[in-house]
Structure 1
Amino acid sequence: MVKKGKNTNNSETTVDRTQYYDITMNILFAMVSEPYYLLHFLTFFSYFSIRFSTSQLFSPEFAGHLLRRELQALLAFVTLAVVKMVKEETWDGFVADMLLFAKIFLVGISLVVDYHLALWFMFTFLVIYVFTQQPPYMGLGSTAQLTPLQLETLLTEGGTSRFWLVEFRSLFSSTCISTSRVLPELSITFSNKNISFGVIDLGLFPNTAARFGVSIGIPDQLPTFILFENAEEVSRFPEINSVTKASDITKKRLCRHFELDKHLLDYVGGR
């Protein structure tokens, strides 16, 4: 009996190590392959190059003052990272928050060194923001990438699914990027013959927004999730004329709002 327990614990430890290894490799691959992450990494790394190459120019008093400020910034960053790690539901949202905090602390520390250096980093981050964007989640899931014509066909002519939960989003929206894994992960659990999941990119089809009552102005309502039943809208989140934050879009909240548990039970029960 004891040996079985040990084997079970060893197998669980092996699985955990495998998961951590996969996550680490995915992070390293993203840093190298995605311009958004690569440029941020090079920008942050450049501070250390500048810092150590010019350290001999600092007086002992200023060097000690700068080191204290760097340690304070590092402690504050680690504290925020721990808090966000507990609160954030998605990895994409956590990364976006951490990059924002890192930029703020880097510019703040650069101001201690020289304001020209701070201006340089602000300009660099602006260039990165203009020419790159955080990549959306591209992992597992059963979500269909739809065009407006495909959605109209599915809703009007019918198909294999009685219900369609569709996310209207734009990859130009940081909120949509940070929440892009929510619907695919829900689809893994709740997709069946009665309910299907789809995504329409309003950045590619902006005219579709007015057709479904989604605001893409300022402020926008992206992402918007709409549940259809036999071509009729059943419910949506957020409601019309209301704006939501990325922190409001969680798997638990969407599951409760659209009663996904009930739809799954109805399917299992043959209703």
Structure 2
Amino acid sequence: MGIITGLFTFLYHFPQIYKWLLKPYYIVSFSMTVAFLLVRKTPGLCEHLSSARDDGNSCEFDWRELEILMFLSAIVMMKNRRAITMEQHIGNLFMFSKVANVILFFRLDIRFGILYLALCVAFVMTCKPPLYMGPEYIKYFSDKTIDEELQRDSRVTWIVEFYANWSSECQSFARIFADLSLKYNCAGLRFGKVDIGRYSDISERYRISTSPLSKQLPSLLLFQGGQEVMRRPMVDNKGRAVTWTFNEENIIREFNLNEIFQKSKKLNKSMSLREKQNSRLQSLAGAKTKKQ
């Protein structure tokens, strides 16, 4: 049953996966993922490779290579149990496959290992995962605008994501945060983002570490009346981030989005009524001025 469910899930997301794989980043990643498989199975090349098989067939995997590939499959399955988005699933597959390829190539021939490792380093230095460019209702802050915007109207509740473009976790979370903004954004509930990888003074001001080892990226902060009410992930007394899963269900529950959204809709009505009253008063005042 689980296999059938996984198959239907894959088929449902196939158009989206197909679009991802057409992007240069994913094309190169996929090529590097299957590099050892191609080298070991390509006729005319595999015959010249060394092999630890008893039958001497250098175009088939030996028992150690099969062991490494089985261990890779187990690691990817374990990591993907906590993955939320399809980007994270594919990212885990690519990352651990490259690690396995490095080991396999070094075991096959140290020259192949050095060459593949150099290609991996060059890829990491020059290629970044494509950023989410879909629809969203999110305001992007700078170091000069964030405090002013949060304190502009005390009636507005803000949910702000503190992120860094180099963080793969932030890139995977971008789609989820954008979907939430489409569902819940209104006059009384707004969504914002600020790149603390770019504005380091904001990370210090809001006590968010940008170190890759801190696990504080991304961080979601809820502001009401211009003041921070809560944040996820929380930070313990030693400054370490408490593990928290950034999925849509957890965010809706922990931040009480449904309740805040219902209150915000009432605020929208009262704000629209006030705007109408103000416009009427202005029109009456203008009419009186004309008569005078």
Please classify the TM superposition score into its range, dividing by the shorter chain length.
0.7 to 0.9
Equivalent position of 1:170 in the other structure? 164
Equivalent position of 2:22 in the other structure? 29
CA contact 1:219–1:243 (8 Å) conserved in 2: no
Equivalent position of 2:103 in the other structure? 108
Does the residue aligned with 2:123 lie in a helix, a strand or coil? Answer: helix
TM-aligned CA deviation for residue 235 of structure 1: 1.0
Partners of 1:84 and 1:37 lie apart in 2 by 19
CA contact 2:35–2:101 (8 Å) conserved in 1: no
Does the residue aligned with 1:196 lie in a helix, a strand or coil? Answer: strand
Moved over 6 A (4+): none
Distance 1:100 1:217, change over 3 A: closer
1:196 aligns with 2:196: no
Equivalent position of 2:283 in the other structure? none
Equivalent pairs counted in the alignment come to 250
More helix, by proportion:
1
TM-aligned CA deviation for residue 236 of structure 1: 1.1
Distance 1:48 1:98, change over 3 A: closer
Partners of 2:225 and 2:96 lie apart in 1 by 45
What stretches of structure 2 of length at least 5 have no aligned partner?
A: 1-8, 269-292
TM-score if structure 2 supplies the norm length?
A: 0.72
| CA root-mean-square deviation | 3.1
Equivalent position of 1:143 in the other structure? 138
TM-aligned CA deviation for residue 232 of structure 1: 1.1
Higher relative contact order (CA 8 A, sep 6+): 1
> AA paired with 1:198?
G
Partners of 2:205 and 2:132 lie apart in 1 by 26
Query: Which of the pair has more CA radius of gyration?
Result: 2
Equivalent position of 2:286 in the other structure? none
TM-aligned CA deviation for residue 85 of structure 1: 4.9
CA contact 2:158–2:191 (8 Å) conserved in 1: yes
CA contact 1:141–1:184 (8 Å) conserved in 2: yes
Partners of 1:128 and 1:17 lie apart in 2 by 27
> Which among 233, 254, 257 is matched to residue 251 of structure 2?
254
Q: How does 1:205-216 map to 2 (within 5 A)?
A: 205-216=199-210
> AA paired with 2:247?
T
TM-aligned CA deviation for residue 145 of structure 1: 2.1
Q: Deviations over 1:15-43 (max 9, x none)?
A: x999545314312332x3xxx32332343
Distance 1:131 1:24, change over 3 A: closer
Q: How does 1:84-103 map to 2 (within 5 A)?
A: 84-103=79-98
Q: Deviations over 1:68-91 (max 9, x none)?
A: 455555555455555555542112
Q: How does 1:47-62 map to 2 (within 5 A)?
A: 47-51=36-40, 52=42, 53-57=44-48, 58=50, 60-61=55-56
TM-score if structure 1 supplies the norm length?
A: 0.77
